[in-house]
């Protein structure tokens, strides 16, 4: 089994840097899990052309080599290139799929009822089509790769726990966005439920030796260091 960072992400606005509005294009950290015949790409946040280049640079793979795409959440920053993986199976946690689907459907219905047939309605319809293509992820994606719910930032945000002989790795998504959040022990203030996000933060820190942060690199869990 191998876990590789394909692309390090960034927040559009990092509140710990005093940023209150977007100052850059946000995109999620993209991770590749290779185990057996499965090649699971997590959060393809870059545009397809850029992500294709990163796959070639990092692991000598093409977009067509990916067998599964897993989304930690349905934020656009996590799925910008998903349509480029037409031959892969798209997966997302069931709770995230259901809560997002209800929200999108309600917004689309409201726009339709008010006679708004503009660009926003078309965007919502496209998002709904992508979400419908996403299958609810099973508890076990592959051998030693398991769902790890981390609700709070969104109701159904879900990471992946990867068990290896010498250590465990947790792909956190935005439950822990960057190293600054990790070091300061802070849940993201942009969470839908900050209290729940704080609980998920603590669970993430307690379970794993290595953490793949949602908008940063893979880091050693500071509470697990042997020094």
Does some domain include residue 227?
A: no
Does some domain include residue 225?
A: no
User: pLDDT tens-digit profile of 146-161?
Assistant: 999 999 999 999 999 9
pLDDT at residue 42, rounded to an integer: 98
pTM: 0.95
pLDDT at residue 36, rounded to an integer: 92
Tokens describing residue 116: 């708004």
Does some domain include residue 161?
A: yes
Distance in angstroms (rounded) separating the CA atoms of residues 96 and 131: 10
pLDDT at residue 226, rounded to an integer: 57
b (16+ CB within 10 A) / e for 192-216? eeeebbbebbebbbeebebbbbbbb
Does some domain include residue 184?
A: yes
Number of domains the chain contains? 1
Residue with tokens 């067509």: 64
Which residues are 213's β-sheet partners? Answer: 173
Half-sphere exposure of 52 (CA within 13 A, CB side): 10
pLDDT at residue 227, rounded to an integer: 45
> Which residue segment(s) compose the domain that 146 sits in?
2-220
Does some domain include residue 226?
A: no
pLDDT at residue 225, rounded to an integer: 62
Does some domain include residue 39?
A: yes
The Cα-based distances of 93 to 29, 36, 121, 138 in angstroms read 18, 22, 25, 8
Q: What is the CATH number of the domain that holds 199?
A: 3.60.15.10
The Cα-based distances of 121 to 74, 108, 126 in angstroms read 17, 6, 9
In which residue ranges of the chain is pLDDT below 70? 116-117, 225-227
């Amino acid at each position: 089994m191998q876990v590789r960072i394909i692309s390090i992400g960034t927040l559009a606005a990092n509140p710990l840097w005093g940023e209150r509005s977007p100052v850059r294009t946000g995109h999620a950290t993209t991770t590749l899990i290779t185990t057996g015949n499965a090649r699971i790409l997590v959060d393809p946040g870059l545009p397809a052309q850029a992500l294709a280049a990163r796959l070639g640079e990092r692991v000598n793979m093409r977009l067509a080599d990916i067998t599964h795409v897993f989304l930690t959440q349905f934020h656009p920053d996590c799925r910008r290139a998903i349509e480029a993986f037409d031959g892969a199976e798209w997966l997302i946690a069931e709770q995230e799929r259901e809560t997002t689907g209800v929200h999108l459907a309600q917004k689309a219905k409201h726009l339709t009822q008010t006679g708004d047939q503009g660009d926003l309605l078309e965007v919502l319809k496209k998002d709904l089509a992508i979400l419908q293509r996403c299958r609810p992820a099973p508890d076990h994606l592959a051998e030693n790769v398991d769902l790890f719910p981390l609700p709070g930032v969104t109701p159904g945000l879900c990471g992946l726990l990867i068990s290896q002989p010498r250590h465990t790795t947790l792909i956190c998504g935005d439950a822990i966005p960057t190293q600054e959040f990790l070091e300061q022990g802070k849940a993201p203030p942009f969470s839908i439920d900050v209290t729940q996000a704080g609980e998920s933060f603590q669970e993430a820190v307690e379970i794993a030796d290595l953490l793949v942060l949602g908008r940063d690199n893979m880091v050693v869990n500071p509470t697990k260091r042997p020094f």
